[in-house]
């Protein structure tokens, strides 16, 4: 078995263990393999091991890999920050967008989604740790933004996403994920039809699953360490 297939097996075992601890069915947690900075060949190897959802953060890099992997049935997730002048190719080529944090971006994605495609599935990114440098909308502004985004025709709001500040302690990791889970509950109580919590990465996936994650975004634990800092 190759290194990626074997790492995927380990990740699936971690997901299974966390689901057992959380008393949740494993089918509730979907694994998004974050392949940014890794070549198309690595994605092909993960695909051969059964992986279908892949996350990318850099548009040009993602489009090049999509072209190389056009023979595979892959669901592509854009998980990076979005500049307004890049929304069109994102709306045209991706199935999911995780990091919508303002209405203008959501409106552009909705307008630019090709009519022949199903609505683009999106998450609103929330800044759960309150760090000023972080992307994402403040928790007290999420419900208003979510209500506006949910009304746009070309996209379908599915839920919320967060990248919390790194924390070594599991109770602190859980507290940040709980902020996102509570917001999803609040939005649903207001009548929004949402089902997605995109949270948890290689170092904190167990805590995220315990707090209700439905999509965990895993890069390092599958593909290894990224060479470029921050990528």
Torsion of CA 184, 185, 190, 194, to 10 degrees: 50
Phi, psi at residue 66, to the nearest 5°?
-60, -40
State yes or no: residue 131 binds ligand PLP (CB under 6 A): no
Query: Which residues, 6+ apart, have CB-to-CB distance to 137 below 8 Å?
Result: 101, 102, 124, 125, 126, 127, 145
Helices 142-150 + 103-112 axis angle, to 10: 20
Query: How many chain residues touch ligand PLP (CB under 6 A)?
Result: 13
Phi, psi at residue 50, to the nearest 5°?
105, 0
State yes or no: residue 219 binds ligand PLP (CB under 6 A): yes
| Beta carbons of 79 and 125 less than 8 angstroms apart | no
Q: Which residue number, 159 or 219, has a Cβ lying nearer to ligand PLP?
A: 219
Instruction: State the minimum distance, in angstroms, from the CB of residue 115 to ligand PLP.
Output: 29
Measure the CA angle with vertex 135, ends 171 and 126; round to 5°.
Answer: 55
Q: Which residue number, 36 or 174, has a Cβ lying nearer to ligand PLP?
A: 36
Instruction: State the minimum distance, in angstroms, from the CB of residue 222 to ligand PLP.
Output: 8
- Scan residues 46-65 and list those touching ligand PLP (CB under 6 A): 57
For residues 147 to 176, the per-residue mask of contacts with ligand PLP, x marking binding by CB under 6 A and - elsewhere, is ----------------x-------------
State yes or no: residue 129 binds ligand PLP (CB under 6 A): no
State yes or no: residue 201 binds ligand PLP (CB under 6 A): yes
> Site residues (CB under 6 A) for ligand PLP?
34, 36, 57, 79, 163, 201-203, 217-221
């Amino acid at each position: 078995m190759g290194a990626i297939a074997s790492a995927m097996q380990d990740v699936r075992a971690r997901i299974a263990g966390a689901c057992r601890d959380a008393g949740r069915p494993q089918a509730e947690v979907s694994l998004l393999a974050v392949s940014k900075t890794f070549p198309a060949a690595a994605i092909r190897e993960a695909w051969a091991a059964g992986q279908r959802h892949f996350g990318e953060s850099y548009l040009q890099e993602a489009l090049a890999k999509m072209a190389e992997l056009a023979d595979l049935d892959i669901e592509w997730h854009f998980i990076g920050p979005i500049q307004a002048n890049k929304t069109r190719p994102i709306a045209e080529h991706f199935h999911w967008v995780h990091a919508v944090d303002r209405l203008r971006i959501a409106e552009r994605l909705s307008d630019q989604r090709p009519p022949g495609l199903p609505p683009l599935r999106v998450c609103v990114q929330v800044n759960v740790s309150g760090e000023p440098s972080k992307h994402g909308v403040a928790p007290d502004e999420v419900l208003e933004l979510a209500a506006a985004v949910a009304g746009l025709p070309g996209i379908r709001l599915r839920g919320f996403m967060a990248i919390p500040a790194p924390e070594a302690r599991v109770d602190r990791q859980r507290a940040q994920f709980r902020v996102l889970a509570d917001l999803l509950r609040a939005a649903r109580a207001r009548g929004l039809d949402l089902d997605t919590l995109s949270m948890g990465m290689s170092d904190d996936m167990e805590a995220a699953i315990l707090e209700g994650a439905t999509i965990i975004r895993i890069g390092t634990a599958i593909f290894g360490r990224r060479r470029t800092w921050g990528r």
